[in-house]
Amino acid sequence: MELHMTFRHTAPTEALKSHVEEKLGRLTKYFVKPEAFHVILTVERARHIVEITFSENGNLYTAREKTNNMYLSIDRTIHKLEHQLKKYKEKLKEHKKKRLI
């Protein structure tokens, strides 16, 4: 798993990097082989914006969140991605069930 992190208008700290890596670890149970993650952490005035993009098996997943706290933005973005992955996996399960009947 490759992880590319971009920091815009903020200093790259080890705490932020480790928090992102830890939270992305929660997503590993949903996919087979992700190609690469691209995480963009931006600070604009009082808004902390996090955007995460990755692809797996030809599907592109992306999520973006803005809050006043960078860690909260990271958590909410991961939650959005987790929701997208769950939805896609359920769709695959339902599709397989229909084909078997």
Mean pLDDT (the chain, rounded): 88
Q: What is the pLDDT of residue 89?
A: 84
pLDDT tens digits for 11-39?
A: 999 999 999 999 998 888 887 677 789 99
67 pLDDT tier (thresholds 50, 70, 90)? very high
Structural tokens at position 90: 């359920």
Q: What is the pLDDT of residue 43?
A: 96
Instruction: Give the integer Cα–Cα distance in Å for 101 and 87.
Output: 22
pTM of the entire predicted model: 0.85
- What per-residue string of b and e applies to 47-66 under the rule 16 or more CB within 10 Å gives b? ebbbbbbbebeeeebebebe
For residue 94, pLDDT over 60 is answered with yes
Q: What is the pLDDT of residue 59?
A: 85
Q: What is the pLDDT of residue 30?
A: 80
98 pLDDT tier (thresholds 50, 70, 90)? low
